[in-house]
Structure 1
Amino acid sequence: MWFWLSLVAILFWSGSDLFSKIGSKPDDKYSHWKMVIAVGLIMGIHAIVQVCTGTPFGIQDIFIYLPVSALYILAMILGYVGLRYVVLSESTPICNSSGAVAALLCFIFLHQTMELLQFIAVALISIGIFSLSVLEKKQADEERRLQGIVPDKKYTSSFIALFFPIFYCFIDGLGTFSDALVLDKYIQEDSANIAYEFTFLFLAFVALFYLLVIKKQKIVLSKEKPKFVAGICETAGQFAYIYALGDNAIVAAPLISSYCVFSVLWARLFLKEKLTLKQYLAIFAATAGIILLGAGGF
């Protein structure tokens, strides 16, 4: 079951990336805050519906799951900071390796293992993700060069340029591993998902207070529709992800991380972004790994 749940997570999370890109406005410096609000509100509504329909949940679940939620939220914040200061785009290959980090941690500390066919498939997926991220970085560098954009050297040629993406990769991978650990020993998937959604709802209220009260910004909901669609996709992806992770974390983690590959593909299909032959080959490698997992009956 974890395989099909992983595919659902990939579909919705890549969709979330697509609509986030559509909804992002380069001239709106508060766009990321509004995205947090949209995602948090959708997740909060979903959590309330689950509780009202009898899904087991207690306030203590929020605190049990809080360390995992904190790691995911920290990774999200690091991602936003990195995008703002060009750090992540300068070191995309490292950052996109968090699925492999999570799998390694599951192997070392949880003693989870893969069958040979699974290992080959995961290797293909990881190669595809890494190759595509390298190609994206080169493409982004070339676009900045043509536009005459020169990133601050302290974000590209200093200690922070190396430390930041490694720290992001470790935190994101540690979050996934911690998720697997907590789901294995302390909390059920449905309760954990609700706990995370309520935590994100709290963040939405914080972001809302920041924009409306502190920054005196106006939010026109009718102009933020893509963000709310992205929030729906993010919520659906998270729901499938946590059950896939609870079932088989060591394989599901690197598999689901391939959603970034499909984000690029959707951008080509719907936003008409151009891809090179090498990028198509990277997408093919990741897709071949996914097909191999499916064909293996996993």
Structure 2
Amino acid sequence: MALPVFIIVLIAALFHATWNTVVKKNDDRTLFMALLVACGGMGAVVTLPFLDIPAKESWPYIALSVLLHNGYYLFLIAAYKYGDLSHVYPLARGSAPLIVAAVSVFIVGEQLSQLAWIAIIIMAIGIMSLSITRNSQNLRNPTAVFCALGTGMFIAGYTVTDGIGGRLAGDVHSYAGWMMALDGFPIIAYLALRRGRGIVADCRPIWKPALVGGLLSLAAYWAVIWAMSVAPIALVAAVRETSIIFALLFGVFFLKERLSLTQLCAIFMTLLGTVLLKLNRP
């Protein structure tokens, strides 16, 4: 992975961590995340007049990606229902790079060196180890674990789908814009049907931070889709998951959370894996 691409993916990871920290601070995470996704979708809509129509070969991937993204939102909401964010989210994010690597090699046909595999495994273990804390009884709940791993499957699914679809679109930016414009509205429509007219009043106090988070999310994933068009999907997916380390550090410095020995080890392993990925040569 070229250095400029590597840096852009790290910046995307930073943006991703920022909006996740904003979600974590909100009491009604389900509504806030749905509004955030909708705001990101509206931001993408604004870009459409300046973009070409994606090549017809990419439209099945756009449709599949929208479906997988919304499956991810629903599974993540369920994971939050049955387990704590600090336990289920690292399990979901840490499992995704391993799944992406396996799919990209054995199905897509990309090549990964032995060092790249080692780096991805180290990063995945480091991230998933964040689930292991003194209060990790949620991980003994099979429903919470199922939802967390299901979330990881959906993350891997839309990552590989967007990696391939962006390459087929003719212009990767047109793919990103159209996919994210269409992605933004099913989840808010689902919540509107469940909550009725009261959703407008519920959204009023949170729309400003949701808008900021949505635009950060839009910029972050747009950059990732572009990166997957010029670098191996598995490597981009792995570097993107450094976002969880940024989120952990934000928690320490801005939310006044304490840093445990397990978390320090997770940071070290993730950073080690990131360095190994940068040293990797095809």
TM-score range, shorter chain: 0.7 to 0.9
What whole-Å deviation, never above 9, does each CA across 1:182-204 have from its counterpart, x for those lacking one?
Answer: 23345542122112222233236
Match of 1:73 among 65, 70, 73: 70
RMSD (CA atoms): 3.1
C-alpha distance in 2 between matches for 1:7 and 1:68: 23
- Unaligned 5+ segments in structure 2 are none
Alignment of 1:139-178 (within 5 A): 139-141=135-137, 157=141, 160-161=143-144, 163-178=146-161
Judge conservation of contact 2:43–2:218 (CA < 8 Å) in 1.
Answer: no
Q: TM-score when scaled to structure 2?
A: 0.83
Cross-structure match for 1:40: 38
Judge conservation of contact 1:2–1:243 (CA < 8 Å) in 2.
Answer: no
Judge conservation of contact 2:72–2:155 (CA < 8 Å) in 1.
Answer: yes
Cross-structure match for 2:109: 111
Cross-structure match for 1:148: none
- Unaligned 5+ segments in structure 1 are 142-150
What whole-Å deviation, never above 9, does each CA across 1:240-290 have from its counterpart, x for those lacking one?
Answer: 111122222021112212211221111111111001122112102211222
Match of 1:129 among 110, 114, 127: 127
Identity %: 20
C-alpha distance in 2 between matches for 1:124 and 1:139: 24
Cross-structure match for 2:272: 288
Cross-structure match for 1:4: 7
Cross-structure match for 2:243: 259
- C-alpha displacement of 1:140: 4.6
C-alpha distance in 2 between matches for 1:182 and 1:216: 34
* 221-230 vs 267-276, greater mean Cα deviation: 221-230
Could you say which structure has the larger radius of gyration?
A: 1
C-alpha distance in 1 between matches for 2:172 and 2:127: 27
Judge conservation of contact 2:166–2:176 (CA < 8 Å) in 1.
Answer: no
C-alpha distance in 2 between matches for 1:217 and 1:292: 48
What whole-Å deviation, never above 9, does each CA across 1:132-181 have from its counterpart, x for those lacking one?
Answer: 2334xx4454xxxxxxxxx7xxx9555x4554333332232122222223
Judge conservation of contact 1:39–1:231 (CA < 8 Å) in 2.
Answer: yes
Q: TM-score when scaled to structure 1?
A: 0.79
Q: Cα–Cα, structure 1 residues 281 and 88, in superposed 2: closer, same or farther, change >3 Å? A: closer
For this pair of structures, how many residues does the alignment match?
276
Amino acid at match of 2:23: S
Judge conservation of contact 2:78–2:147 (CA < 8 Å) in 1.
Answer: no
Q: Secondary structure at the match of 2:111?
A: coil
